[in-house]
Structure formats: C-alpha cells, structure tokens
C-alpha cells in the first residue's frame, strides 16, 4: 500500500531543476509506446486560466465567446470552466447553463468555503486545486505532505458528498515527487471515488511548461512517460485524465498532443492560448490537431476561429499578432514575389490547406518593394475576384505600370506596404474599363 511519507526537507529535484541554469533535458534508453485512446476530446479554460491573463470579461462577452465555443467545437469541446467567486462569475455561469454548448464546470481551491460558492451554481463538476510539488506544498503553502494530502482528501470527500464530480488539478505535476507523494495521493483519492461510486478525474498540470513531448524523455518532465505512469502504474482510466499545459518553453501545444497520443483522453486549452504568463495550448490549434488525429470533423465549424479572432480584435480590443497561426491578420498573407509567383500557378504551393473553406480566410498578399510583378498580379486577381479568362498575368502592361509606380515610391523613400485603398486607386487608374465590366468600378 502506498502511503505519503514526509521527507526531512522538501524534494526540489535539483538535478532536474537547478534554477541557476536552464534545466537539462534528460532521456531514457527506451521510449513509451503510443496509446491513443479510442475517444479523445477537448475542454476549455478560456474563462478561468484565460481570464488570469487579461481584463475580466463581462457577462455579455462570456456568453458571446461561449456561443463561439459551441460553434467551433460542437461535440468535441465538452466542457468549459468558470470561476464562481463574484456575482458576475455566477451570472455568467447561469447564462451559459441556459444555452446549448459545452458543459459548464467550475474551479475552486481546496477549501470548504469555496465549495459553498460552487454548490450554489448548480454545476455537476468542479475542478479542485491540488498542488502536487514540494515547491508548492512546503514553500508556498507551508504544509507537510501528510497535511496537504489530508486536506485534499477532506475536500474531495466533501465535493463528492455535495453531489459533484471532483476533478483534481495536480498543480506543478512536472516538478513533483511522483513516487513519494503523487502516487499515494492519487491512489487514496481513487479509493474515495470507488467507495462513493463517483469517478475522480485528474488534470495533469504542467504549470511551468517544463513538459517534454518525446517518448524517451525522463520523468517527471516526459509527457508520454508521465501519462503512462498514471494509466499503467496508478491504473487511472484515460477518460479520467486531462492534460493542462503552459507554453513557457514553446511546447504547450505539442505537449498536449503528446498527452493525447500516449493515453490521456482530454486536452485542455483556451481561445488563442490566453492564460497565465505564456498562456495555455490554443484551443483552436487543438481543434485542428483533433481533426488531423481522428479524421473527424462532424459538428465542428472551424470558420468560427476567424469570427472569434475578429471579436477579440474589434470588441475586446485584443488584436492577435499578425503572424499568429490560423487567425493573425498576416497568417496566410505573403509579400514575397517568389511566393506570389507560385500562388499564381497554384495556391496549394504556398498555402497549408484550403484556408478559404476551412477558416473563411482566403489567401492574401501585401504589396511592397519585394512583391514583384507576380505579387501585384496575384493581389489584383484575388482582390478583384478575377478568375479564368478575366485573370491578369504578371506580364500584362497594366500590371507592369502598377509595379513601376510601386518601385518609384520605394526609391523615393517609402518604407510601408501599400494599403488596400492605395492598391484599389492604382487599379482604377490603370484598369478603368476592365473594372467597369466586372462591377468593381
């Protein structure tokens, strides 16, 4: 039987986390075999972890984003979590509960006072903060392992007694002592659930982004080995496991996909990756990877990604970086003439997939001093909607004339790209009659 034993001093795993230098990446001699669950899904933390990185959403904004989650994820984004502390939080929960979409859940500290607020919301499941590393237990909470384990067990038992499903968020798991604390804790919490006939879920939290996606990576940082530790060593079912990552080392998304591949059924993310510090795995990227892994897209509307990005920019005042994948203003826009030349021949040469159909984002081009004749021709054909016989070639004299004017302005000292309005003015000047025949005059 596994029991929690208090060490004489906190185990900070100094070989793996020296603090005074970049943590080393360690590997084992063998890799972990893939074990993709039969069913995988996504959960959302836009309104919980995501709100820790920005100004609070209003109820109206939460409801609008909740509707976009429902459109985007259909049956795949199964849950979303909200705080339950303030009147605004509880009003938002009530509003979302009246709408079709992901199941609304909450989050709480390991506190009976928090449980009272959660119960009033009428949710069926709540997350519980269960800090797992000695960094948190000893240095933050000023507790021993036994004290922490007893507190966690008491709160999980109270959550079950209140008629709720507990979801234990194992905070800072990738810096935790797995054998000395995590294993006996998880075993005891599972036993509580078995006795009550209520499944206890575990969220595997890579709180500092230390996770590593490779099957040979060592514990506690190796995501494949960590998931296998839970499924094989501790006997937790894949459907009771959920990965929650952070992006401190640029591995948030790939670590989450690794968790799926090696036995974790649920992946947690937030819209556009908003979350504490470096953020969480981007929810929209998880949807794209879900389709890539399963081949299933029934009920999903990936064009909602573009609508959500527009809402963040125009209503929330939070524009995404121009090069942000799938949603940034310039994500599928080129200004390189050699790329535009390829796009003139076949857009598949320089487009990741049919972005017009999948994301409602047609390819675009910004005309500048590097666009060349091909870039201008491509801009004209796409912006004006010219297809087939109406398309212009890069050697068309009118294209050459526009290119000459573009070059002239850069020689004179221009440093910015040409705006759509400027390009349309040049087009009207050089293509007057042609525009009239296409209804664009």
Give me the pLDDT at residue 240, please.
98
Evaluate whether residue 35 is within a structural domain: no
309 with 399, same domain? no
113 with 208, same domain? yes
Contact 83, 108 (CB under 8 A): no
Residue 125's SS3 state is strand
Rama region for 197: left / alpha / beta (φ>0; ψ in -120 to 50; rest): left
Evaluate whether residue 258 is within a structural domain: yes
Contact 169, 160 (CB under 8 A): no
Give me the pLDDT at residue 337, please.
53
Rg (CA), the chain: 26
What share of the chain in percent tops pLDDT 70?
A: 95
Beta-carbon contacts of 157 under 8 Å, excluding residues fewer than 6 positions away, are 192
Give me the pLDDT at residue 440, please.
47
Evaluate whether residue 302 is within a structural domain: yes
Contact 343, 378 (CB under 8 A): yes
Evaluate whether residue 213 is within a structural domain: yes
370 with 296, same domain? no
C-alpha 52/C-alpha 50 separation (Å) is 5
136 with 167, same domain? yes
- Which of 174-178, 271-275, 356-360, 368-372 is the least confident region? 368-372
In this prediction, residues 203-215 reach a mean pLDDT of 98
C-alpha 35/C-alpha 227 separation (Å) is 10
What share of the chain in percent tops pLDDT 90?
A: 78
306 with 340, same domain? no
In this prediction, residues 270-283 reach a mean pLDDT of 96
298 with 360, same domain? no
Beta bridge partners of 333: 364
What does 301-341 look like in DSSP terms, one character per residue? -TTHHHHHHHHHHHTS--PPPTT-TTTSTTTTEE--HHHHH
Contact 149, 143 (CB under 8 A): no
Evaluate whether residue 242 is within a structural domain: yes
Which pLDDT tens digit goes with each residue over 2-17?
Answer: 889 899 999 999 999 9
List C-alpha distances in Å: 155 to 10, 116, 166, 184: 24, 11, 9, 17
C-alpha 183/C-alpha 379 separation (Å) is 59
pTM for the full predicted model:
0.89
383 with 302, same domain? no
Name the domain count of the chain. 2
Structural tokens at position 188: 């005891």
339 with 294, same domain? no
C-alpha 224/C-alpha 36 separation (Å) is 11
386 with 353, same domain? yes
Evaluate whether residue 4 is within a structural domain: no
Domain range for 239 is: 41-314
Which pLDDT tens digit goes with each residue over 57-76?
Answer: 999 999 999 999 999 999 99
Beta bridge partners of 169: 129, 203
Evaluate whether residue 18 is within a structural domain: no
In this prediction, residues 147-172 reach a mean pLDDT of 98
Which pLDDT tens digit goes with each residue over 8-62?
Answer: 999 999 999 999 999 999 999 999 999 999 999 999 999 999 998 888 999 999 9
List the helix and strand counts (H, then E) for the chain.
15, 10
CATH number, residue 293: 3.20.20.70
Evaluate whether residue 321 is within a structural domain: no
191 with 303, same domain? yes
147 with 293, same domain? yes
List C-alpha distances in Å: 200 to 164, 178, 268, 379, 440: 10, 18, 17, 55, 61
């Amino acid at each position: 039987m596994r029991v929690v034993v208090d060490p004489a001093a906190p185990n900070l795993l100094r070989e793996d986390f020296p603090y005074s230098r970049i943590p080393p990446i360690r590997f084992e001699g063998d890799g972990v075999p893939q074990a993709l669950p039969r069913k995988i899904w996504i959960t959302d933390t836009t309104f919980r972890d995501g709100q820790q990185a920005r100004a609070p959403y209003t109820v109206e904004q939460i409801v609008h984003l909740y509707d976009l989650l429902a459109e985007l994820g259909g049956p795949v984004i199964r849950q979303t979590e909200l705080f339950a502390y303030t009147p605004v939080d509880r009003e938002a929960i009530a509003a979302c509960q009246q709408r079709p979409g992901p199941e609304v859940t909450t989050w709480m500290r390991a506190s009976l006072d928090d449980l009272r607020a959660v119960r009033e919301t009428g949710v069926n499941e709540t997350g519980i903060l269960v800090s797992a590393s000695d960094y948190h237990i000893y240095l933050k909470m000023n507790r021993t392992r036994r004290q922490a384990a007893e507190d966690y067990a008491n709160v999980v038992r109270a959550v079950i007694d209140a008629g709720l499903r507990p979801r234990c968020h194992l905070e800072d798991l990738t810096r935790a002592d797995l054998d000395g604390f995590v294993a006996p804790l998880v075993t005891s919490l599972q036993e509580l659930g078995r006795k009550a006939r209520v499944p206890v879920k575990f969220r595997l939290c890579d709180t500092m982004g230390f996770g590593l996606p490779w099957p040979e990576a060592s514990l506690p940082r190796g995501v494949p080995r960590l998931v296998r530790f839970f499924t094989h060593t501790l006997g937790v079912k894949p459907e009771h496991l959920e990965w929650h990552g952070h992006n401190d080392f640029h591995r948030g998304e790939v670590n989450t996909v690794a968790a799926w591949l090696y036995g974790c059924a649920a992946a947690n993310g937030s819209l556009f990756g908003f979350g504490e510090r470096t953020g969480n795995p981007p929810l929209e990227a998880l949807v794209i990877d879900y389709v890539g892994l399963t081949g299933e897209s029934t009920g999903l509307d990936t064009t909602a990604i573009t609508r959500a990005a527009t809402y963040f920019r125009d209503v929330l005042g939070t524009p995404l970086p121009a090069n942000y994948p799938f949603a940034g203003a310039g994500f599928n826009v080129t200004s390189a003439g050699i790329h535009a030349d390829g796009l003139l021949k076949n857009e598949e040469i320089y487009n990741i997939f049919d972005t017009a159909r999948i994301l409602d984002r047609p390819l675009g081009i910004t005309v500048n001093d590097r666009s060349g004749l091909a870039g201008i021709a491509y801009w004209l054909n796409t912006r004006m909607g010219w297809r087939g016989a109406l398309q212009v070639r890069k050697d068309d004299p009118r294209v050459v004339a526009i290119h000459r004017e573009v070059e002239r302005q850069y020689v004179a000292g221009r440093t910015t790209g040409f705006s759509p309005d400027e390009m349309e003015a040049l087009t009207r000047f050089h293509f007057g009659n042609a525009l009239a025949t296409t209804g664009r005059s």
